[in-house]
Amino acid sequence: MDKDNSDEFYARLKEQLLENTSWPSDYLYKFIVPTDEKRIAQIHDIFDNTGAVIESKKSKKGTYTSLSITVNLESPDAVIEKYKEVSVVEGVISL
């Protein structure tokens, strides 16, 4: 995603989160990442010390791992900040 598209995406997401959620609130992230311990550990580290509950499940062939992360956050900005941090993990797909 190029910078303009991602800025637009995050602005729209923030608007939706402000309209539909009262903050602080639990937020569920879903990511798909190639099954690679280093990449999975990177995502775990991003959510370390946040009280996040992380569930992971490997795909049938074991090529990919899906991560469902539930965490209580203070604001839509905090949600977006985590998306941006995770976006640097190589091969990650945000759902």
Query: pLDDT for 55-92, tens place per residue?
Result: 999 999 999 999 999 999 999 999 999 999 999 999 99
Q: What pTM, to 2 d.p., does this model score?
A: 0.90
- Give dist(CA 48, CA 45) in Å, integer: 5
Q: What domains can be seen in the chain, in order of their start residue?
A: 3-94 (3.30.70.260)
Taking the alpha carbons at both ends of the chain, their separation in whole angstroms is 14
Residue with the two structure tokens 């937020």: 27
Question: In 3-state terms, what secondary structure has residue 52?
Answer: coil
pLDDT tens across 2-58, in order?
A: 566 788 999 999 999 999 999 999 999 999 999 999 999 999 999 999 999 999 999
Question: In 3-state terms, what secondary structure has residue 56?
Answer: strand
- Give dist(CA 83, CA 88) in Å, integer: 9
